[in-house]
Structure 1
Amino acid sequence: MRKLVTLLVLLFNTFIIKAQSISGSLIDESGNPISFANVVLLNRCDSSFVQGTISDENGNFSIGPFTDENILRVSCLGFLPITKAHTNSPVTIVMQEDINLLSEVVVNGNLPVTRMKGDAMVTNVENSVLSKAGSANDVLTKIPGITKKQDAFEVFGKGTPLIYINGRKLHDLSELEQLNSDEIKNVQVIRNPGSRYDATVKAVVRIQTVKRQGDGFGFNLRSSYYQSKNTDLIEQANFNYRHDNLDIFGSIYYNQMESWQDFSMKLEERGTKVWNHDMKSNGEFYSKMLNGNVGFNYQLNDNHAFGMKYKAGKTLNEENPLSKETDINVDNVFYDNIKVNSCDYYHYDPDHELNAYYNGQFGDMNLDFNADYLQNGKRSNSVFQETSQTSESRDVHSANRVKNRLVAGKLTLSLPLGGGAFAVGSEVTYTHRNDDYLNEENYVPSSFSKIEELNAAGYAEYNHSFPWGDWSLGLRYEHVKFDYYEDGKHVDEQSRTFDNFFPNISFSTQLGKVQTQLSYTAKTQRPTYSELSNNIFYSDRFTLQKGNPTLRPTIIHDLTLSGVWRFLQISLSYSQTKDWILNWGELVNEDASLTMLSQRNWDKSVPMFAAFLSASPKIGCWSPMLGIGMQKQWLTIDFFKESKTLDNPLFTASFNNTWELPLGFMLGLDSYIQSAGATQNIYFEKPNGYVNVSLRKSFLNDALSVELRGNDIFNTNKISYSMYSGDYYLYQKSVWDRQEFAVTVRYKLNAAKSKYKGTGAGNSQKSRM
């Protein structure tokens, strides 16, 4: 590690003394940054290639040395190329859209909805039909390769992504509902993130907003009403004040949610006896939540900006009542019937989150610094009332107390090197978590645990453009020190240290009108803090649940090929996964009368292949988007003393449609379906999906909009799956109240989007909480 740091310092000193470079920024005619554009120096006499680089996410670039013998050429798909002789530094270059190219590559002469740009698939939203979709939540459901499952998004074949808005990491998906679709410039999907991102990040979704001009005060109001068997409400107000270089912003958000879930389960455990549980259950969920944020951004000059954002939230009320009835048979003979009425009551501490950032340009070097602090906690009290037909009835009371604190910092230095762009940085995160569990009847032992984790990372990446393509190389080193304490004592055998290197490499080029990229990354998946807890939770008298402090991080090697041609996009991925974390059931007693549900690492490497194809043309007033995906794993596990192969491919298909109708009406019809198939040690037994329909009308020059929506109109969003694990088998069928009618009203006045540029630090550790 010391040698690596020494090498980075020497490289850094070399960059500092480099002179005569030129830096600047690229923007379009609306003032929006142009990221990942090619910036090259050519020989003035014969236009031969000298060196090249690419602009970063904010359109900034630096290249040099730039002499009188050189000319500067800037090019980007969709824009006219620009050639400049010697110019002062820093320089702002305004690029114009290439109208001829736009009409050439799309059915009706508009800019293609999705194209490849740098390391991302970029979908344009501004001035497209997507800008009227409603919220950012609605936009993401229409992006190729992104699907929404229940209350979370997934990038096909990669899993749950990190989502950023203007470089700031989202920790609460409700923020997507607070961002209107007409405020979004584009959505970028990165399927193989580089070394700048934590090694746990397998996919990234970046949302860039439209740059608002002018000073003054603006606000944006939104009210939504959802009616299923229950009633849900969302109320929000955003404000923004801008004067000269000062930008002050904030928001208040309130939601009230009620939902229910009916599910049936069949369990089988095989030991010296065979136990069968046939369970029927229904549960409800009530929640009220209020949060808000306030912050500022100050642009000192063209080269320096800083800001701060504070977010606070409070869950006002949360309850989860549940009732279930279970018939138990042992060796095919009736054993018992047990009825359970339970309720979980949650009391949340106020959430506090603070982010501060500074971004500065010093000659050729760009410095980006972020610091974060996070604190949250909750207490839960559970009451189980079990009524048994053949044995004793019992009441079970338990309490769980969790408190989290996190401090993180991240520093990145970027500057030109050898005709390309080089970046080096470090990220350090310290996490402290207390997790206490008490059961007054002592059916399970009470425990008091503490976790302390230090994650120190260093990373470097280099990008270089050539006439025949663009290369990107990166390496990330992570040192993780994990300390586990039980009842105030350090547990040596459950405390560990990990040191890993995670390389990445990608090459992108254009073959005729086809944009292609081939990339390789090494990633990891760390267990959540709850999965690492040694607390034992009471589920019922036959089933307990706990974490596993001995879990090892999963290591993933991924190779992905992506391509874009006109309105078609394709992605092919092959990966090898080692130490996959699987949910698992273990027998506590030999006769299988008691089972412990936990997690385990699968020791063998598991190969997986994923393919995705999407088409998003525009035909008159109709904007369809068709996406088809397939993923297949090769996994064989031990199940009931035999081998169980789970290699059935899983297919998905989405068909989203939008029609722009006369008089300002917009009609939407979206559908999604997933086939039966296997993922990890779970097999989905039946297809599931949904159909949504919406109608939108705007008034007052789009200042006021009203949307009517029907979600899951055929009530098909139901899931049936089996889980196979050793001597334990589970089948579950779940039904939710997803079929609902919704009305949303939005009103905006001089709404200006915040210019906040903080990207956050310690993001992966925050999500593990």
Structure 2
Amino acid sequence: MRNIIVSMILLFIGQMSWAQTITGVVKDTANSPISYATVVLYSLPDTTYVSGAITNREGQFKLTAVESKQLLLQVSSIGYKTRYLPAITDQTIVLEQDVVSIDEVVVKGTRPISRLISGGVQINVANTVLSGIGTGNDVLKRIPMITGDNGRFKVFGRGDARVYINNREVRDPSELDKLNSADIERVEVISDPGARYDATVAAVINIQTAQKPGEGFSFNARSSFYTGENNDYINQISTNYRKEGLDVFANLYYSNISSLLKGDISQIVDVDTLWCQNSYTNGGMRSNALNGTVGVNYEISENHYIGLRYDIKTSPQKNTKDIYLTSDIYADGVLYDKWKNRELKRTANRPVSQVNLYYAGQLGNLSVDFNADYYCGGTDTEGMHVEMSEEFGERTLYSASHIDNSLLAGKLQLAYPIGKGKLSVGSEYVDISRNDEYSNKDLPGFTSKVNVDETNLALFTEYKVLTNIGNFSIGLRYEDANYDYLVDDEVADDKSRHYRQWFPNASYATKIDKVELQLSYTSKVVRPSYRELSGNLAYGNRFMIETGYPFLKPTVRQDLSLMIVWKIVQASVRYVHQKNAIVTWIDRFESDPKVSVLTSRNLHELPKLAAMIAIAPTFGIWKPQLSCGIHKQWLDLTSYGINVRLDKPSFFGSFNNTFDLSGNFMINLDAAYNSKGHLSTSYIYKDSFLVDCSISKSFFDKSLQVKLAISDIFNQNRAVNEIMMPQTDLKNLYHFDNRALSFTVRYYFNSARSKYKGDAAGADALNRF
């Protein structure tokens, strides 16, 4: 068939000659542009390769060739039939969807289509059912390998992910709720981030939005109401104004959220006496936020951009936590005491300010990307702890904490084509300070003042090249991190640290027939949070206190992974080796052994294995997506005084269903399952099963959208774990009030997105705050 097509084209173009530049646009049958289609130019009759290109977000391409009278274009994209046609400039090329048969059921190869990219996988969203799903949050929840919600997501086998929108890190989780799914072009799930990312970044989710032409004013507004055991509210408005090279944007977000917590806690302590504490907890938290953003971008010339962005986060009212705890205490099986506790905390969030300044430009073939960030903020918390004991009477404890954070950071990245690849080099510098003061005048030894001053200098380089046998990428990052730990304004040499570390990464990707494969290796680090390093003692009850561990070492991770994409199937296998793994630990309080100290420790090593597979076919209006996987770790605590092996695997599965109905109606029914199993030093001793459902409809050419949803229909959202430590067994079962009915209205007027190209310097430090 291909020979016949080629022969017909030869007859058509045999006597014609062409200019050196060939341009065009690739679209689908719905007249929507197809981005990232492959366009290859051949000379005839021997079909010798001349040049190639990838279409941009508008489906446009541009090729350059030596003059020839016989040229042939090959245009292909996953999910579409490949076309061969004459190399005529300024033409529109329409690709038809490919259709395959599975068990005599016709399944269209419609997108979202997965394809491998350096370090991860890319999911196309534009022109798919996902584009009408609602928000950025709704889209990410339905991407294979991603779990989570409300702006906080994890990547399978890697853990917490940094979320970016157009290469700018998302600091405010509400940003994903502000993002219209129809504006998303694609989602990149980078499970093996390269050297340009901070060594602490385990995974990256980068959302790329489609560029819309036009100028003038635009805005979008959203209002949501949630009702369950509490009533919650979220309101948001975003505006944008464009005129020639000027782009001004602003948004305002307000939320008032309440949550309830119920739990059963059992703690057994075996010292000179066998102590057993059975507790029931019941209470709630209320938080509110008023966040604002203003910014400006300016296009100096075609290849030079500058911008400034200011974010402020405030809480008009104090956030509160009010928890009641009822406990029965037994000593060697005999009732020792009963008490009722109340813990009340009020936190005043001082305004958090962050300023970002960027420049992005092209100097010939040299790409330049510079970012500078300043951050400051803090909290003041007042606590009251009331204990009513049948045997020891009543007492009230008062505490207060004061936290200040500040950061100054800069990042420069340069990229230049060398040979068939591109070389990137860069540097990042971070200077941060944290002041943490805690006082409890009613308990001796519980008042402290800790300061941490940190500087971190990083140098990195990465080279990516395309060869005949596949794509190669190799990178190296060097970090020089210095921590000065001060107690009562005096440097504590035994707790201060200085690290000089190298972090290599490499990947190889190829395609065998229609199967894409990528093998990756990365070296990463997990640095302890400031809370984990803090030596401050936080009082829980007469049998439990919490503190950090200033002697924690960073965890060094070595990751080896294999990713496979074949048509509508995506799979991955990952092995992770962690040295000095940071885990939850329980020690004894030195002056009173029956009191447990909840803290953190380093384990010598913690190896893990993770594997998953996902399939996403289409059956008419029904678009299902089935994912399943397994986590397995190998951990023997015998050498730590505990005769137990924590190596039971855990399984997970999800089944998401979208029904794309006529009249702009859409129904979603999603289910997720997680089994029992070991996770670090904890045992998840109960299975969990969650089901969500929603129905939405769009009006006025999708400018207005209404959505009715029910979350956690069977009220099964809970957190369970058991921690077995030397002389201690702690068991927790918490229920949350996630079952709720919600109603959301969104309105988009001349919808547009800011062209802001800034990235965040010092990303790791900001997240650790």
TM-score computed with the length of structure 1 as normaliser? 0.90
The Cα shift of 1:172 comes to: 2.0
Q: Deviations over 1:1-45 (max 9, x none)?
A: xxxxxxxxxxxxxxxxxxxxx99999976998967x889999999
Q: Which AA in structure 1 matches 2:543? A: F
Q: Could you tell me which residue of structure 2 aligns to residue 501 of structure 1?
A: 502
Asked if 1 retains the 8 angstrom alpha-carbon contact of 2:24 and 2:62, the reply is no
In 2, distance between residues paired with 1:693 and 1:559? Answer: 37
3-state secondary structure, aligned to 2:532:
coil
Asked if 2 retains the 8 angstrom alpha-carbon contact of 1:297 and 1:755, the reply is yes
Q: Which AA in structure 2 matches 1:705? A: Q
The Cα shift of 1:663 comes to: 2.3
In 2, distance between residues paired with 1:747 and 1:58? Answer: 25
Q: Could you tell me which residue of structure 2 aligns to residue 468 of structure 1?
A: 469
- In the alignment, structure 1 residue 99 sits paired with structure 2 residue 95: yes
Q: Could you tell me which residue of structure 1 aligns to residue 723 of structure 2?
A: 723
Deviates more, 1:114-123 or 1:447-456: 114-123
Superposition pairs of residues 82-231 of structure 1, within 5 angstroms: 99-100=95-96, 102-103=98-99, 107-148=107-148, 152-231=152-231
In 1, distance between residues paired with 2:24 and 2:690? Answer: 42
Q: Which AA in structure 2 matches 1:259? A: S
Superposition pairs of residues 270-289 of structure 1, within 5 angstroms: 270-289=270-289
Asked if 2 retains the 8 angstrom alpha-carbon contact of 1:54 and 1:463, the reply is no
In 1, distance between residues paired with 2:492 and 2:108? Answer: 66
Superposition pairs of residues 507-518 of structure 1, within 5 angstroms: 507-518=508-519
The Cα shift of 1:569 comes to: 0.3
Asked if 2 retains the 8 angstrom alpha-carbon contact of 1:126 and 1:185, the reply is yes
The Cα shift of 1:643 comes to: 1.9
Asked if 1 retains the 8 angstrom alpha-carbon contact of 2:98 and 2:108, the reply is no
- In the alignment, structure 1 residue 540 sits paired with structure 2 residue 536: no
Q: Could you tell me which residue of structure 2 aligns to residue 696 of structure 1?
A: 696
Asked if 2 retains the 8 angstrom alpha-carbon contact of 1:470 and 1:507, the reply is yes
Q: Could you tell me which residue of structure 2 aligns to residue 551 of structure 1?
A: 552
Q: Deviations over 1:400-423 (max 9, x none)?
A: 100100111111100111221100
Q: Could you tell me which residue of structure 2 aligns to residue 665 of structure 1?
A: 665
The Cα shift of 1:116 comes to: 2.2
Identify if the C-alpha distance between structure 1 residues 764 and 28 changes in structure 2 by more than 3 Å, giving closer, same or farther: farther
Superposition pairs of residues 597-636 of structure 1, within 5 angstroms: 597-603=598-604, 605-636=605-636
In 2, distance between residues paired with 1:212 and 1:674? Answer: 40
Q: Could you tell me which residue of structure 2 aligns to residue 353 of structure 1?
A: 354
Superposition pairs of residues 95-494 of structure 1, within 5 angstroms: 99-100=95-96, 102-103=98-99, 107-148=107-148, 152-317=152-317, 318-494=319-495
The Cα shift of 1:740 comes to: 0.3
In 2, distance between residues paired with 1:95 and 1:464? Answer: 30
The Cα shift of 1:454 comes to: 0.7
Asked if 1 retains the 8 angstrom alpha-carbon contact of 2:408 and 2:430, the reply is yes
In 1, distance between residues paired with 2:450 and 2:247? Answer: 43
Q: Could you tell me which residue of structure 1 aligns to residue 762 of structure 2?
A: 762
Q: Deviations over 1:557-599 (max 9, x none)?
A: 1111001111110011011111110111101248632221110
Q: Could you tell me which residue of structure 1 aligns to residue 741 of structure 2?
A: 741
The Cα shift of 1:540 comes to: 1.4
Identify if the C-alpha distance between structure 1 residues 445 and 130 changes in structure 2 by more than 3 Å, giving closer, same or farther: same
The Cα shift of 1:187 comes to: 1.1
The Cα shift of 1:229 comes to: 0.9
Q: Deviations over 1:502-558 (max 9, x none)?
A: 111101111101111110101111111111111111111222111111111101111
Q: Which AA in structure 2 matches 1:608? A: K
Q: Deviations over 1:333-373 (max 9, x none)?
A: 22111211121000011010111111111111100111111
The Cα shift of 1:73 comes to: 10
Superposition pairs of residues 638-649 of structure 1, within 5 angstroms: 638=638, 641-649=641-649
The Cα shift of 1:670 comes to: 0.7
Q: Could you tell me which residue of structure 1 aligns to residue 653 of structure 2?
A: 653
In 1, distance between residues paired with 2:406 and 2:575? Answer: 37
Asked if 1 retains the 8 angstrom alpha-carbon contact of 2:446 and 2:538, the reply is no
The Cα shift of 1:426 comes to: 0.7
Deviates more, 1:143-152 or 1:448-457: 143-152
Identify if the C-alpha distance between structure 1 residues 339 and 24 changes in structure 2 by more than 3 Å, giving closer, same or farther: farther
Q: Could you tell me which residue of structure 1 aligns to residue 707 of structure 2?
A: 707
Q: Which AA in structure 1 matches 2:251? A: S
- In the alignment, structure 1 residue 588 sits paired with structure 2 residue 589: yes
Name stretches of at least 5 consecutive residues in structure 2 with no aligned partner: 1-19
Kindly indicate whether structure 1 or structure 2 has the higher relative contact order, using CA contacts under 8 Å at least 6 residues apart: 1
Identify if the C-alpha distance between structure 1 residues 355 and 287 changes in structure 2 by more than 3 Å, giving closer, same or farther: same
The Cα shift of 1:315 comes to: 1.5
3-state secondary structure, aligned to 2:623:
strand
3-state secondary structure, aligned to 1:579:
strand
Q: Could you tell me which residue of structure 1 aligns to residue 3 of structure 2?
A: none
Asked if 2 retains the 8 angstrom alpha-carbon contact of 1:703 and 1:749, the reply is yes
The Cα shift of 1:630 comes to: 0.6
The Cα shift of 1:488 comes to: 0.5
3-state secondary structure, aligned to 2:356:
strand
The Cα shift of 1:62 comes to: 14
3-state secondary structure, aligned to 1:710:
strand
Deviates more, 1:555-564 or 1:438-447: 438-447
Asked if 1 retains the 8 angstrom alpha-carbon contact of 2:162 and 2:204, the reply is yes
Identify if the C-alpha distance between structure 1 residues 384 and 590 changes in structure 2 by more than 3 Å, giving closer, same or farther: closer
Q: Which AA in structure 1 matches 2:612? A: F
Q: Which AA in structure 1 matches 2:402? A: R
In 1, distance between residues paired with 2:84 and 2:761? Answer: 36
Asked if 2 retains the 8 angstrom alpha-carbon contact of 1:259 and 1:285, the reply is yes
Deviates more, 1:22-31 or 1:365-374: 22-31
The Cα shift of 1:186 comes to: 1.2
The Cα shift of 1:468 comes to: 2.0
The Cα shift of 1:453 comes to: 0.6
In 1, distance between residues paired with 2:394 and 2:34? Answer: 67
The Cα shift of 1:117 comes to: 3.2
In 2, distance between residues paired with 1:493 and 1:559? Answer: 35
Q: Which AA in structure 1 matches 2:324? A: S
Identify if the C-alpha distance between structure 1 residues 549 and 101 changes in structure 2 by more than 3 Å, giving closer, same or farther: same
In 1, distance between residues paired with 2:592 and 2:332? Answer: 11
The Cα shift of 1:445 comes to: 2.6
The Cα shift of 1:165 comes to: 0.4
Q: Which AA in structure 2 matches 1:99? A: L
Aligned residues: 737
In 2, distance between residues paired with 1:711 and 1:595? Answer: 37
Asked if 1 retains the 8 angstrom alpha-carbon contact of 2:642 and 2:725, the reply is no
In 2, distance between residues paired with 1:25 and 1:717? Answer: 54
Asked if 2 retains the 8 angstrom alpha-carbon contact of 1:63 and 1:416, the reply is no
In 2, distance between residues paired with 1:550 and 1:32? Answer: 55
Identify if the C-alpha distance between structure 1 residues 634 and 49 changes in structure 2 by more than 3 Å, giving closer, same or farther: farther
Identify if the C-alpha distance between structure 1 residues 480 and 60 changes in structure 2 by more than 3 Å, giving closer, same or farther: farther
Asked if 2 retains the 8 angstrom alpha-carbon contact of 1:53 and 1:420, the reply is no
Deviates more, 1:332-341 or 1:561-570: 332-341
3-state secondary structure, aligned to 2:315:
strand
Q: Which AA in structure 2 matches 1:476? A: R
Q: Percent identity?
A: 36
Identify if the C-alpha distance between structure 1 residues 690 and 25 changes in structure 2 by more than 3 Å, giving closer, same or farther: farther
Asked if 1 retains the 8 angstrom alpha-carbon contact of 2:532 and 2:548, the reply is yes
In 2, distance between residues paired with 1:193 and 1:453? Answer: 24
Identify if the C-alpha distance between structure 1 residues 669 and 715 changes in structure 2 by more than 3 Å, giving closer, same or farther: same
In 1, distance between residues paired with 2:458 and 2:45? Answer: 45
In 2, distance between residues paired with 1:635 and 1:60? Answer: 53
Q: Deviations over 1:460-510 (max 9, x none)?
A: 000110122100000111110011011110111100100111111101111
Quote the RMSD (CA, aligned, Å).
Answer: 3.3
3-state secondary structure, aligned to 2:131:
helix
In 1, distance between residues paired with 2:526 and 2:23? Answer: 36
Asked if 2 retains the 8 angstrom alpha-carbon contact of 1:336 and 1:388, the reply is yes
